[in-house]
Copies of this chain bind each other. A is one copy, B any other.
């Protein structure tokens, strides 16, 4: 019999064990820094799994959700070119072409040549795409609310503020040399 190929739910050592191991193997490690960084990474992974499951129920992938979000954030009339989308998502234009193909086939977006400049292509959210985004958003925000339930309003504020400070630092630290992204936001 074959195995189920079900990776299931990620079996890794506890955060404490992991950090203890790092310290054991690498003396000059600041455990406090490592705790913050590792917790950040793990949290993000778990959250992406959560989003992925919810999106799967809606019949869309994580990748498709990213595109929907980007078009919605762009605002009415929910149009962007493939190049612009690629830039915002951190994908190559080639990947964008294929992603749009798939999404257009599923009716989430339309792809048309710009009449005023026939080199340009316009990707536009369909009503169905917009509806999917809304449904996904509803589920996601419930999940997020749930996730933060243990933090007081004040704590949420402090957490948000610190994360934004880190974000500013990381953006400042690595201006914008090339680099691919693996993740959504």
Contact = CB atoms under 8 A, between A and B. Distances in A.
Nearest to A18: B73
Given A6-B178, A33-B145, A157-B32, A12 B43 contact: no
Given A10-B87, A45-B183, A32 B173 contact: no
What is the total number of copies of this protein in its complex?
2
Interface of A is mostly: helix
Interface string A140-174: 01011111111101011111101111110111011
A155 to B, nearest CB: 6
A181 interface: yes
A97 interface: no
Interface residues of A, number: 98
A38 interface: yes
Interface string A82-100: 0000111011111000000
